[in-house]
Structure 1
Amino acid sequence: MAGLVDIDGHPTWVEDLGGGAAPLLLLHGGLSNSDALLATLGPGLSEHYRVIAFDRRGHGYTADTAAEFHYAGMAREAVSVLEKVAGGPAHLVGWSDGGIIALLVALQRPDLAAKLVVIGTNYHVDGIQPVELDPGSPVFQELGRAYVERSPDGPGHLEEVIRKSMQLTRTEPSLTTEDLARIQQPVLVVAGDDDLVALPHTVSLYEALPNGQLAVVPGASHALPLEQPATLTGLILPFLAAEGPPQTLMPIRRARTTATDAEKAR
């Protein structure tokens, strides 16, 4: 199924690959669209899961509104898709802004979040490295081309969407490590070794999560899903399929966590 679905009163483009497997919701990055992840991760993931994706307001085939972009509103969209399309909890796989949204959904509606995979994701605005993004770069050119091909608002609205997106990333998100510590679901944190999100920030995200796992992919940037989709799928599938916490021969961080949990249970 692919088409417009009423999500909170707004026609929203949703694609549901169907099947009887457990649902998995793909959450695309900022200035991107659901096709980007469906084309790269969809083929491998859909062999094992019912893959669902949607275009957030002002992205892809979903029209914009006059409102500014805020992650809280984007998380509400995702919750509505989970309730209305998935029909309940799902694994959440989010890239960049999509990863932020996955974290917010897990915090606000833990009943709808199974396992999480967050790719190139910052939990605080300070986690983005101070780099100048060139609107004339190949990445921006490709994002603009994809927007013009899909947007019902027309090519003239692209400048406004870029403005809203840049304003969003300059001011949000503002989660803390204490917030992250409330997320009890298993979370796989993935980043490129040359990511837009600073590596110490990525590590702090991982370390704040009670049930986190970390993968840093060599030779990869913030565009990891586009650069190395097979590598990424190869990390995601075993993580989602695993039962229980990781069992390793020399646990250190996890040994401390297990001991702490045992103390709390007394």
Structure 2
Amino acid sequence: MGEYIDAGGVRTYCEVTGEGDAVVLIHGGATTGESWAAQVPALAARYQVFVPDRRGHGRSPDVDGPATMDGYAADLVEFMTALRLDSAHVIGWSDGGKVAVRMALSRPDLVRKLVMIGTELTRAGGTPANDRLMTTPEGLEQLSAIARSDYERLSPDGPEHFGVVFAKWTRMWTSIPDIEPSELAHLPMPVLLMQGDDDCVRIEHNTAVARAIPDAQLAVIPGGSHAVPLEKPDLVNDLLLDFLTDPQTPKFMPLGDLNS
């Protein structure tokens, strides 16, 4: 059962499940909080899980003005403030990871642990197929077809508003500022980077990001695509729960170079 939260003037739909330390799940672009259905029960067995719909997505109405990753991150800060959440584990998938990392950079005090799933932080960090999907007429037509049915089913703005929000997303996707790996060097919280081995992110990009962060882990899931939380939910959930657990299992033979 969901409710609406007034998050700094943004009427944000949210579902809350479970008890314990807070976990906030941030969905991807052109999707909704429903995309986390395979993760919520596993996480809610140990944590209190908050699943908001970002403005203009799902059951949350659109707001005047452009869509930007920084704007969504500011919304997330207001959301946590409205719920009196002093801090939370924040997990973002795809665009949700871009939102989450921007909040972690601007308000690190709010993020206990950060997870980015299938998230490229620079244009060059994405695959050519991802670039075609996000920037070409053919790719955007495909995304529009995928997003339209859920939008028309859930949005309080009505189906006729889909063209307005999709135009905002399109402008955002073609102009997202890069975050270079070096900009993440001062993140104070543990970070998990997760992706499928056939994802939208170049594996070497996430390796570079992991090397730049003092306390980072990298998980590449075999046989997984950009939809790996749906394709391999048990494995994804086990990795998330392991990462969120403290203390972490100590490394017996650290011979790699992620943090050397």
Give the alignment's TM-score, normalised by structure 2. 0.90
1:4 matched to 2:12 = no
SS of match in other structure, 1:217 = strand
For residue 54 of structure 1, report the CA deviation from its aligned partner: 0.6
For residue 130 of structure 1, report the CA deviation from its aligned partner: 2.5
Alpha-carbon spacing, 1:8–1:249, altered in 2? closer, same or farther (3 Å): same
Alpha-carbon spacing, 1:10–1:47, altered in 2? closer, same or farther (3 Å): same
Other-structure match for 1:13: 13
Segment of structure 1 superposing worse, 168-177 or 188-197: 168-177
Could you list the per-position Cα deviations for residues 111-155 of structure 1 after superposition, in whole angstroms to 9, with x for gaps in the alignment?
110011110011223322232334565x75443211111011112
For residue 10 of structure 1, report the CA deviation from its aligned partner: 2.0
Could you list the per-position Cα deviations for residues 181-230 of structure 1 after superposition, in whole angstroms to 9, with x for gaps in the alignment?
11121111001111112222222221211111000011111111121111
Could you list the per-position Cα deviations for residues 151-200 of structure 1 after superposition, in whole angstroms to 9, with x for gaps in the alignment?
11112222222222222122113212221111121111001111112222
Alpha-carbon spacing, 1:80–1:245, altered in 2? closer, same or farther (3 Å): farther
Other-structure match for 2:115: 117
Alpha-carbon spacing, 1:161–1:248, altered in 2? closer, same or farther (3 Å): farther
For residue 246 of structure 1, report the CA deviation from its aligned partner: 4.4
Distance between the aligned counterparts of 1:173 and 1:24, measured in 2? Answer: 27
SS of match in other structure, 2:193 = strand
Alpha-carbon spacing, 1:250–1:204, altered in 2? closer, same or farther (3 Å): closer
Give the alignment's TM-score, normalised by structure 1. 0.88
1:173 matched to 2:177 = yes
Other-structure match for 1:52: 50
1:127 matched to 2:142 = no
Q: What is the identity percentage for the equivalent residue pairs of Structure 1 and Structure 2?
A: 36
SS of match in other structure, 2:163 = helix
Query: What do you get for the CA RMSD once the two structures are aligned?
Result: 1.9
Counterpart residue type for residue 49 of structure 1:
Y
Other-structure match for 2:195: 191
Counterpart residue type for residue 33 of structure 1:
T
Other-structure match for 1:261: none
Distance between the aligned counterparts of 1:255 and 1:15, measured in 2? Answer: 37
Q: How does 1:1-266 map to 2 (within 5 A)?
A: 2-19=2-19, 21-37=20-36, 39-85=37-83, 87-131=85-129, 132-133=132-133, 134=139, 137=142, 141-243=145-247, 246-253=250-257, 256=260
Gaps in structure 1 of 5+ consecutive residues: 257-266
For residue 12 of structure 1, report the CA deviation from its aligned partner: 1.1
Instruction: Count residues with an aligned counterpart.
Output: 253
Distance between the aligned counterparts of 1:69 and 1:109, measured in 2? Answer: 20
Counterpart residue type for residue 193 of structure 2:
V
SS of match in other structure, 2:15 = strand
Distance between the aligned counterparts of 2:38 and 2:235, measured in 1? Answer: 11
Counterpart residue type for residue 214 of structure 2:
P
For residue 41 of structure 1, report the CA deviation from its aligned partner: 0.6
Counterpart residue type for residue 85 of structure 1:
L
Gaps in structure 2 of 5+ consecutive residues: 134-138
Distance between the aligned counterparts of 1:252 and 1:145, measured in 2? Answer: 45
> Runs in 1 of length 4+ with deviation above 3 angstroms?
134-137, 139-142
